[in-house]
Structure 1
Amino acid sequence: MKHINLGITSLVAALLIFNGAAFAQQKSEEAKEMKQDKKEMKADMEAMKEERKAEMEAMREEHKAEMMQRKEEHKAEMQERKEERKYEKEEHKLEKEKRKHDKKDRKEKWKAEKEKRKAEMKEKRQSLKDKKDDSDDDSDDDDNNDGNNIS
Structure 2
Amino acid sequence: MRGLVTEESGKMVKVHIIRQEACGRCKACLSGYMEADMDIDAQNLCDAEVGDWVELKLQDNAFMNAVLISYGIPLIGFLAGIFLGYFVVSPLVPLPESLVSFGLGVIGVLLCYGWIKSQNPRWEGGKYMPMAVKLTSEGYGVAEEQMR
TM-score (structure 1 length as normaliser): 0.22
Which structure has more helix as a fraction of its residues? 1
Structure number with greater Rg is 1
TM-score (structure 2 length as normaliser): 0.23
